[in-house]
Structure 1
Amino acid sequence: MDLIVAGQPTLIVPVEDTTQIGQARRSATKAALEAGFDEADTGRVALVTTELSTNVLRHAGRGEIHVAIVPGRDTQGVQVVAVDRGPGFDFAVCLTDGHSTAGSRGEGLGAIRRQSQVMDAHADHRGSVVLSRMYPRGTAQADIRFGATQQALAGEPICGDGWAMALSDSAQGVLLVDGLGHGPAAHRAAAACVEAYVADHDGDPVEVMARLNAAMSGTRGGAVAMVRHAGGTLRYCGVGNIAGSLISADASRGLASHPGIMGMATRRMQAFDFPGATGKLLVMHSDGLQSRWSLRDYPGLANRHPAVVTSVLYRDFDRGRDDVTVFAISLEDRA
């Protein structure tokens, strides 16, 4: 499978009263139509979004619905994530029809599971995140285990961050860029980087980064990091304040970037190799996310779907004063 995709910001719909359930449903339905879903599959998306939104109000009082079109294997899907700061729940128990913590019929999560190709969740005393991914019927193996949550700074019409992902039969590649500052000028810098990566992402990360540096010349520049995972080894190259972590069940290792601004005069870039990366979780984020998080503080979260991971980190560590992007992917041996 060869896939190259440029990411888009996540649509976030606040759910604080019953009128916003309809808004969330309409937003998800629109995404389904854009993804090419037929009437029946679009109806599944509407049903799941309604159930998730209703659960947020019923159990947490308020929260958000995150909507995104996601790439799959030879198709596109719709991702709907419910995010709240409620009391949490036991995911395995609540999947059983008839179980309820709020006096309802207890069918919500079971119905969501039946309509979703992918469903996962994380819940504790800080709140809950429930993920549903839906693809056209007949594409049961479509899911790619990655997650991306991206938002522009409040009040800005456009995001100054960007991300892209390149998958082949032998390698996984990820790019994350944070245009300097925020707003339209930062967006143009990030877009120039993403476009150059999409056009020519093959090769050693140092060589690709040199091409990206040239593509960002004439913009205000920014921070850029990219990885290539192949043959069990992760190769990482970064300039500026993009953070990266390689996470396993019992350890976390930071990925170092060099100081500087891409698009400006920079010293020769250097890549770092991390053997034995297959089976680990890669997390990358712009500096719109606080850096003091640790998945060790969230027992079991590292084993959840990467889209659950990015949603939890965004909920709890968004600085709220800059564009923010959080990306996570399960590293797989594709040889």
Structure 2
Amino acid sequence: MVGPPLLDCEDSAWFRDQPEAARGAAAALGRRIGLGEHRTAQLVLAVAELSTNVAKHAADSSMLLRVLRNRTTAGVEVLVLDSGPGMVDVPAALRDGVSSVGTLGIGLGAVQRLADAFDVHSLPGVGTVQLARFWPHPLDPSLAAEAVVSGVTRPMGGEDVCGDAWAARVDTGGRTTSAPGEGGAPAAGTRIVPAWSKHPRAGTSGEGDHRAAPPPRRSPEPDPGGRSRLLRGAAPGAGDGVLVMSCDGLGHGPMAAIASQSAVHAFRSGTARTPEQAMEEVHRALRGTRGAAVAIARLETDGRVLFCGIGNISACVLTTGSRANLLSHPGIVGHQMRQLRTYEARLPAHGALVMHSDGLSERWKAGDLATLLHHPPAVIAAGLLRLAGTRRDDASVVAFKGAW
């Protein structure tokens, strides 16, 4: 079996009420990665339309720009989050000529036509997440395939760098796979971000410090639904697996970022096949740094999940009606870890695995994300960040959805 197509995600930059800065950053990114003059102009136009749209219609909006790439191609992804009022009818909002404020109403329709991938999730009274992706043309057909993992990070207010990070890689059990964009996996640890159909899906309903080891965030008993249990000597299953890591560097700012990026490097370059083995590799790499909270999961094609967590990383298996929490134990990766433990869970066909740092509140329920589960992982992660994120700490979310 060949793993999912993988794309590297880098150079995240957030903008709040800064339309000119966002347009300038989009133009600079397009030129730097070789998007092409015409395609870069289309990207800048889309960023302008999205900025104008949220300024007119939304509250507490922010925009994220980042570079996506495989071994041969680079593109730009735009994520826009706001806290309402939301759209009652997303398909209608995408039609030209529809406007609630008397304008021409061509903004979202224009973005949809310009983007290679476009998705909108909106809930009246809650808010909206919009995603648009731009690749050089002609478009490589392989870039239309949807991958299974994506994440979002955001620095705390007043900081330029984020001390949180995420990463993912495919474990092929030693088999050689083809290059990204050719139906296979990239070098170990490349972050995975989704690329999906251009047609949008619409939803219409619904300062961390780890010096003192905190109590476990989860009850050690298995989930009431029987979806998680403690394993002894956990071993990888047959076939490919996807390893996903969420990391929260101690505190915030540049030193926290150094710790988390050291964890990402160790995770990406490592050869571990299980979460416990990967945690040991990361632990060794973080000696000499301030340390971090880390959670690592392995997801397999039959829905099996292996999970190992140390510190304040929340993790759960999520469906439209349930949230099955996974246990993280006290400790600081890179400094002090007790005996590692692995838990096994099952990921339902239409469920998602979500991990987030303590830069997000845990006061959210499965029902809050029910309609988001029909959308790609990047939109799920952004929607949860919008719902539960705090600006008093670095924040990160990573989501895995679906089989491959």
TM-score by length of 1: 0.89
Q: Quick one: structure 1 residues 74 and 256, their matched pair in 2 at CA, closer, same or farther if it must change by over 3 Å? A: farther
**CA offsets 1:246-278 (integer angstroms, 9 cap, x no match):** 112332211211111111232221211223455
Aligned residue in 1 for 2:126: 126
Q: Quick one: structure 1 residues 158 and 299, their matched pair in 2 at CA, closer, same or farther if it must change by over 3 Å? A: closer
Contact kept in structure 2, 1:4 and 1:164, CA below 8 Å: no
Q: Does 1:164 align with 2:234?
A: no
What letter is aligned with 1:45? L
Aligned residue in 2 for 1:150: 153
Aligned residue in 1 for 2:293: 223
Question: Could you say what secondary structure the match of 1:268 adopts?
Answer: coil
What letter is aligned with 2:299? H
Q: Does 1:209 align with 2:211?
A: no
Aligned residue in 1 for 2:136: 136
Contact kept in structure 1, 2:360 and 2:389, CA below 8 Å: yes
Aligned residue in 1 for 2:247: 177
1:102 is displaced (CA, Å) by 1.7
Contact kept in structure 2, 1:174 and 1:226, CA below 8 Å: yes
1:80 is displaced (CA, Å) by 0.9
C-alpha distance in structure 2 between counterparts of 1:294 and 1:306, whole Å: 18
Provide structure 2 residue ranges, at least 5 long, that are not aligned to the other structure.
Answer: 172-183, 185-239
Question: Could you say what secondary structure the match of 1:132 adopts?
Answer: strand
Aligned residue in 2 for 1:186: 256
Contact kept in structure 2, 1:31 and 1:78, CA below 8 Å: yes
1:283 is displaced (CA, Å) by 1.3
C-alpha distance in structure 1 between counterparts of 2:270 and 2:384, whole Å: 31
C-alpha distance in structure 2 between counterparts of 1:35 and 1:328, whole Å: 26
**CA offsets 1:311-332 (integer angstroms, 9 cap, x no match):** 2222232222111111122232
Aligned residue in 2 for 1:195: 265
TM-score by length of 2: 0.75
Q: Quick one: structure 1 residues 298 and 248, their matched pair in 2 at CA, closer, same or farther if it must change by over 3 Å? A: closer
Q: Quick one: structure 1 residues 86 and 4, their matched pair in 2 at CA, closer, same or farther if it must change by over 3 Å? A: closer
Which of 308, 328, 332 is equivalent to 2:399?
328
Contact kept in structure 1, 2:321 and 2:370, CA below 8 Å: no
Q: Does 1:240 align with 2:311?
A: yes
Question: Could you say what secondary structure the match of 1:47 adopts?
Answer: helix
Structure 2 matches for 1:1-335, cutoff 5 A? 8=10, 10-15=12-17, 20-60=18-58, 63-71=61-69, 75-89=73-87, 90-123=89-122, 124-137=124-137, 138-142=139-143, 143-167=146-170, 170-232=240-302, 233-333=304-404
1:177 is displaced (CA, Å) by 0.9
1:294 is displaced (CA, Å) by 2.2
What letter is aligned with 2:96? D
1:148 is displaced (CA, Å) by 2.1
Q: Quick one: structure 1 residues 93 and 118, their matched pair in 2 at CA, closer, same or farther if it must change by over 3 Å? A: same
Aligned residue in 1 for 2:201: none
Contact kept in structure 1, 2:11 and 2:67, CA below 8 Å: no
RMSD of aligned C-alpha atoms?
2.4
**CA offsets 1:4-59 (integer angstroms, 9 cap, x no match):** 777546311112xxxx3222111122222333312222122112111111111122
**CA offsets 1:49-78 (integer angstroms, 9 cap, x no match):** 111111111222662221112346863331
**CA offsets 1:171-206 (integer angstroms, 9 cap, x no match):** 322111111111232222212211111111441221
Q: Quick one: structure 1 residues 274 and 34, their matched pair in 2 at CA, closer, same or farther if it must change by over 3 Å? A: farther
**CA offsets 1:275-308 (integer angstroms, 9 cap, x no match):** 3455421211111111111241255122122222
Q: Quick one: structure 1 residues 6 and 108, their matched pair in 2 at CA, closer, same or farther if it must change by over 3 Å? A: closer
Contact kept in structure 2, 1:5 and 1:166, CA below 8 Å: no
C-alpha distance in structure 2 between counterparts of 1:140 and 1:4, whole Å: 14
**CA offsets 1:138-195 (integer angstroms, 9 cap, x no match):** 1344153543221222223432212112136533221111111112322222122111
